[in-house]
Amino acid sequence: MFEYAPAPESRDIVDLRSSYGLFINGEFVEGSGTSFKTVNPATEETLAEVATATSDDVDRAVQAARKAFGVWSALPGAERAKYLFRIARLIQERARELAVLESLDNGKPIRESRDVDLPLVAAHFFYYAGWADKLQYAGFGRRTADGQGGTRPLGVAGQVIPWNFPLLMLAWKIAPALACGNTVVLKPAETTPLTALLFAEICRQADLPPGVVNIVTGAGETGAAVVAHPDVNKVAFTGSTEVGRIIARSVAGTNKKLTLELGGKAANIVFDDAAIDQAVEGIVNGIFFNQGHVCCAGSRLLVQESIQEELLAALKRRLGTLRLGDPLDKNTDIGAINSAEQLAKIRQLSDLGESEGAERWSPACELPGKGFWFPPTLFTGVAQSHSIAREEIFGPVLSVLTFRTPAEAVEKANNTPYGLSAGVWTEKGSRILWMADRLRAGVVWANTFNKFDPASPFGGYKESGYGREGGLAGLEAYLDV
Ligand code: NDP
């Protein structure tokens, strides 16, 4: 077998500062809390010191957003669109810089940040820019001459996002909010604040009116302060079901509008008539993309019993070709685990899988000496009762279960407290439709997986949360209709 020569992307394009402040009212300001370090998970090297926003700082940010709401919501939609188009183009112009920074701070392979995250980030801003002047035609009713009916922005949106797709989740949150005329206070995850701060610079470059976008960094407490602030009208959260519950409780009884995008334990279902090689690619993409740090990851493979052996042999062969290592190397498939905490969680759940009786397998794979790493792993002989079949591992770990009939596949796929996504692999269109009708999942992919587009709504059932992001449905979350 041939060996790849190292092909690292240069990090010179990123102008890393040693410390970063908060972005409030169009200015970078100091935070009142104790600053924290953000590290490169592939090397454990400190990248920068980042300010912590206390509840006083959050209050300043919300006040700035409130003041800016007067200006921003009064602009004609076409004017707001101009800013959003400008931001989208600046993201494209600075895409390489953003992609390198994302890979440094998050640990994801540059191939993914460059070819998936960044194009989707720009696409979200372009897409919602297109809606800004068409809200009266979005199907929510039109405003009459005397100002009755139609849609109105909600006000200040408090947004809390996770570390798995830092810039993409920012785009999912900020683009529709601004298009609809709201202003925002956004808190990025503690381990991945840097691209949000570079985005703040882009807002300045785009001459966005001060206060329309505010970025407050910090840990969970900062997020809680954003959510609890009495002058926030809308809360949007992506992250764990556990924190989602805390947020739902904190918002209950207020008139804040809430959307929650939480965890998942998706089934990727392969029937005996599926094209095996394509299914193998889809399985790999489903669970090893972004180290499995994906809420809609296909973490449970349900394979029809008659093709189990053939499929697993092909899958193991394919896993043997995955390259794990330097996220900035253009040939890397699997990057670093985002944090020591997440690595500990993946290890703990995988060990539990073994002790509960499932069989563990990983390809021969050398892990770098420094940083947080976990090899691509699959478990066979998994029962539905096993922890690894029920809990979100949020890592490169696949649990393999089998089924005999389509009805059994549906039963097993739906046997989870989550309901975010599912995948179906079969040659028969009728079977795809039959399955899609019965799967309790917000997104069902057929003969593909992890396909995203700003025009298609995304969101879950049950403990995966409520509300939809993306597409026309994504506007509703930011409008009083
Ligand atoms: P969290 O849900 O804790 O983090 C998501 C965001 O919420 C972060 O910005 C976090 O801040 C913030 N936050 C934490 N506590 C609060 C609070 N009480 N009020 C408001 N905001 C808060 O996810 P973790 O990073 O802790 O990951 C834990 C697990 O969650 C993972 O192992 C994975 O299983 C799951 N997860 C699921 C995601 C998904 O997309 N479905 C995304 C991320 C994680 P901070 O970063 O400082 O903690």
> What DSSP letter does each residue of 134-190 carry, written as one string?
-GGGSSS----TTS-SS-EE-SEEEEE--SSSHHHHHHHHHHHHHHTT-EEEEE--T
- Establish whether residue 459 lines the binding site of ligand 1, counting it when its CB lies within 6 angstroms of any ligand atom: no
Query: Rounded to whole angstroms, what are the CA distances from 68 to 159, 176, 223?
Result: 17, 17, 21
- Establish whether residue 189 lines the binding site of ligand 1, counting it when its CB lies within 6 angstroms of any ligand atom: yes
188 CA distance to ligand 1 middle (Å): 10
Q: How far apart are the first and last CA of the chain?
A: 60
263 CA distance to ligand 1 middle (Å): 10
Q: Which atom of ligand 1 is nearest to the CA of 263?
A: 41
Query: Rounded to whole angstroms, what are the CA distances from 246 to 184, 221, 280, 306?
Result: 21, 12, 38, 44
Catalytic: 261?
yes
Torsions phi, psi of 19, nearest 5?
Answer: -145, 155
Q: What is the pLDDT, as a whole number, of residue 273?
A: 98
Ligand 1, pocket-test mutation among 227, 240, 390, most atoms within 8 A of CB: 240
237 CA distance to ligand 1 middle (Å): 9
For residue 213, list its beta bridge partners. 184
Q: Which of the residues 102, 112, 190, 261 is marked catalytic?
A: 261
- Establish whether residue 162 lines the binding site of ligand 1, counting it when its CB lies within 6 angstroms of any ligand atom: yes
Q: Which atom of ligand 1 is nearest to the CA of 420?
A: 41
Q: In whole angstroms, what is the distance from residue 434 CA to residue 431 CA?
A: 5
Which tokens go with 300? 């449970």
Q: In whole angstroms, what is the distance from residue 83 CA to residue 94 CA?
A: 16
Quick check: helix, strand or coil at residue 24? strand
- Establish whether residue 374 lines the binding site of ligand 1, counting it when its CB lies within 6 angstroms of any ligand atom: no
- Nearest CA to 396 among 293, 265, 281, 282? 293
- Summarize the chain as % helix, strand, coil (round to 5): 40, 15, 40
**Number of residues assigned to the chain:** 481
Q: Are strands 36-39 and 46-50 parallel, antiparallel or unpaired?
A: antiparallel
226 CA distance to ligand 1 middle (Å): 14
- Establish whether residue 392 lines the binding site of ligand 1, counting it when its CB lies within 6 angstroms of any ligand atom: yes
Instruction: Print pLDDT tens along the chain (481 aa).
Output: 678 899 999 999 999 999 999 999 999 999 999 999 999 999 999 999 999 999 999 999 999 999 999 999 999 999 999 999 999 999 999 999 999 999 999 999 999 999 999 999 999 999 999 999 999 999 888 888 887 778 999 999 999 999 999 999 999 999 999 999 999 999 999 999 999 999 999 999 999 999 999 999 999 999 999 999 999 999 999 999 999 999 999 999 999 999 999 999 999 999 999 999 999 999 999 999 999 999 999 999 999 999 999 999 999 999 999 999 999 999 999 999 999 999 999 999 999 999 999 999 999 999 999 999 999 999 999 999 999 999 999 999 999 999 999 999 999 999 999 999 999 999 999 999 999 999 999 999 999 999 999 999 999 999 999 899 999 999 999 999 8
Are 336 and 292 in contact, with CB atoms under 8 Å apart?
no
Residue 207: count of CB within 10 angstroms of its CB: 10
Query: Rounded to whole angstroms, what are the CA distances from 273 to 312, 329, 414?
Result: 15, 37, 22
Q: What is the pLDDT, as a whole number, of residue 127?
A: 98
Q: What is the pLDDT, as a whole number, of residue 150?
A: 85
- Nearest CA to 105 among 220, 199, 192? 192
Q: What DSSP state is assigned to residue 114? A: I
Query: Rounded to whole angstroms, what are the CA distances from 49 to 21, 118, 146, 212, 319?
Result: 9, 24, 52, 25, 37
Catalytic: 203?
no
Considering Cα of 14, then 367, then 166, then 332, what sign does the dihedral take?
A: positive
Are 447 and 268 in contact, with CB atoms under 8 Å apart?
no
475 CA distance to ligand 1 middle (Å): 24
Q: What is the pLDDT, as a whole number, of residue 406?
A: 98
Q: What is the pLDDT, as a whole number, of residue 1?
A: 62
Q: Which atom of ligand 1 is nearest to the CA of 250?
A: 19
